[in-house]
Structure formats: structure tokens, C-alpha cells
Amino acid sequence: MVDQEKIHNQCLSNDPKERMHALEELKNFFSFMPDKQQAWNDLHRLTSDEDSYVRDSAVKAMDSAFSDISDRQQACNDLLRLTNDEKDKQQAWNDLLNLINGKDHDVRSSAARTLDSAFSDVPDKQQAWNDLLRLINNKDHDVRSSASKGLDFAFTQVPDKQQAWNDLFRLTNDENWLVRSSAAEALGSTFSQVPDKQQAWSDMHRLINDENIFVRISATLALESAFSQVTDKQQALNSVLRLTNNKDHEVRSSVAYALGSAFSYFSDKQQVWNDLLKLTNDQNSSVRSYSNHSLGRVSIFMASKAETEENYKKELEKAIKFFETAAKEASCDNPAQFCLPFYRSFYTIIFKRQDAKDEVNKYLEEAKAVIENSKGKKQLFEAVQYLAEALKEVQNIGNPDLPGMKDELSFYRKYCDYAAELMSCTDEKAPFATEVLRKAASSST
């Protein structure tokens, strides 16, 4: 039987030879250790050892032990922290890549979630970019998916943007739909840094009409990020509006979401408004929900630009009605259900001059009920607390003038929209589409 206590004491020894002996024992017999968490902690401590040979050996041993750890995400975070150490950055990156290439699905997933954070600290970013591209061509779709999620973040850090752009361009033509989908997302989020924006827009336009529905969804949602940088905004708008008649309700929902997010950039705002109104009568509940939610967002935006207090109040009331309609649609993590309690309370405090304490308590109860089962519960709870404090501050303003009310609404609008996006978006940064993508990935290549 493995004497773990003896091995643990050797890890604490002043003699580097004993520490190395302990490392060998941990590496060879990790799966037989009674207390694997203690064994992992010993390994992690030795990665900071004063002896460089001990450090390197400890990092390699962590790689071998990873699959036997129950809390793999925490273990992966420990490995990620090694990238903060100049002596171990490259080794930690290499170990992450090995884990992503491994056979265990849970290990791959845990390692993949740290790619973005690790990339910023890896010494040779061009080589790291090439590593990602190599993984994207892996025959295993899980590996491809994991690597592709890091494309947008990595692009911002690669020194040779033109080469990185050429690589992205190639990926938009990849035969695998999952790779094309990831490339579309990366194009949207990195659009401001792409050297040839006209070519990038042409590629996004092509992907919007891709034969695969999930690629079309990703490309449509990517327009939200890219629209402010597009040269021909009318052409971009026309491309999006044509998709409001798409036969796939997922695409129509994506369009509704994108139109609300990018509304301020459109020159023909009336046309966008009309098309969103048309989508509120769609046969699909998800389309109706997202179009009403977008109209609510647009109305809040219009209120923040109102020139009279009467119009300000009217647009705020209009927004609340749209959010109410959107919130009634049965949908998991419906963002309108998060926005509605805040704007209701905001309106009550501003125009009915009701005591903030009662309204804030009411808001907190409603908002917490909405986010109870959300995936981003922790971040959303922080957002709720912040917005609750904001409501108290609104009360303290007294009788604000119109510029003051507009400033308040404009500021909180951005924060509330961000929080609502946390509700509707998960790791694919797309409303409602993530689970569909994940299910399809398990049965398609």
C-alpha cells in the first residue's frame, strides 16, 4: 500500500533529492493515493520549488495526474496559474494542449475553458496561434470546438495580424461547419482589428448565406460586433433584414436579437423598427420573445435620446410594455424577464416618487427569482445587487431634470443590457443557439 504520509513529508523535505523521489512516487502511484486532493496539492506546491529540476518535473507530473482529480476545473486553474510564472509559462501551455488532445472528454472540456486566459501569458504567441490552428484541424470535433473558442481572443494578441487574418479567411471556407461557425464568431469580435474590412464583411455576408443553419446563426450574430466598423452599412442592413424571412426560426431569432443590439448604428431606424414589429407576430415563440425584447431595448435607447420629458416617459412606458410581452413567452433564461423588474422599479421611482426602499426590495425579489436557474447565476446576482443600489441612488437625486434622467437611463441601460446578455448568452455568445449547436456537434462532423 502507498504510504502517502511519507511521500507528503518528503515533498516538504529540505533535500531536493527527497523531493524528487516524492515526485516520482506521486507520478507513478497517483491513482492509488488515498487522498488525491492532498497529493495534487503537493504536486502544485512543488511547481514553485526553488530547484528548477524539481519544478519542471512537478509540472510534468501534474499532467499525468490530471485525469484522476475529481475537481478538474480547479486542477486546471492550478495549472493555468503556472503561466504567471516566467519559468513555467511555456510548459504550462504545452500541458494544456496535451490535456485538450487527451481521451477524456471532461479533461478536454476543463482544459479548453482555460485557453483564453493562458494565451495572454504564453511567451511565443505566434507559435501558440499555430497550436490553436493545428487543434482546429483535429479529427475529433470536441477538440476542434475547444480550440476554435479561443480564436477571437487569440487574434487580438497575435503579432502578425495579416497572417492571422489569412488563417481566419481559410477557416471561413473550411469543410467542417463547426469550424466555419467559430470563424464567423471570431470575425465579428475581431472585426476592428482585421486589416481588410471590406473582405472581412464579404466573408461574413457569404457565411450569412451558408448552407449550414448554425453557421448562418453565428454569422448573423457576429454582425452585432462588426456593424459599427462596416463601411457600407446600408448593404449590411439589407443583408440582415432579408433574413427576417428566413425559413429557420433560429435564424429569425438571431436577426431579432442582432437588430436590437446594433440599432444605434442603423441609418434607416424606421425600417428596422418596422421589421422588428413584423417579427413580433411570428409563429415561433422564441422569435416573438427576442423581437419584443429588442423593441424594448430600442425604446429605452430612444428614451435616453428624448428631447422632452413627455417623450422620455412615453418611450420608457413603451419599453416596459414590450418587455412585459417578451417576458410572457415561455423561454429558458429569457433576458426580458431580467430587464423588466429593473425598468418597472426605475419608472416607479422616477415618475410616481414611490419610496425607493419598498421598490428596491420588490425588485430584488423578482430579479432573484428570475436568475435562480440561470447558468451565469453568480455574475447575474452581482448585477442585481448593483442595479438595486442604482435604484436607491435614483431616489436620492430628488427631482431630476430631463438631462439628468437621460444620463441615468443611458448609463443603466448599458449595464442592464450587459446583464441581460449574461442571461441569454453562454459560451457560444449566442442566444438560445448554444444547446442546439452542442447537440448537433455530438452527431455531426
Alpha carbon distance 104, 142 (integer Å): 11
pLDDT digits (tens, 9 = 90+) for 211-266: 887 888 788 777 777 777 777 777 777 877 888 888 888 888 888 888 888 888 88
Q: Which pTM does this prediction carry?
A: 0.63
pLDDT digits (tens, 9 = 90+) for 380-429: 777 777 777 777 777 776 677 888 888 878 777 876 776 666 665 433 33
- Is pLDDT larger for residue 128 or for residue 150? 128
Q: Please give the pLDDT value at position 441.
A: 32
What radius of gyration do the chain's Cα atoms show? 26
What secondary structure does DSSP assign to 249-318, as a single string?
HHHHHHHHHHHHHSGGG-S-HHHHHHHHHHHTT-SSHHHHHHHHHHHHHHHHHHHHT-SSHHHHHHHHHH
Residue given cell 409563429 in the structure block? 283
Q: Please give the pLDDT value at position 64.
A: 64
The dihedral built from the CA positions of residue 317, 318, 321 and 322, taken in this order, carries a sign that is negative
1: three-class secondary structure by DSSP: coil
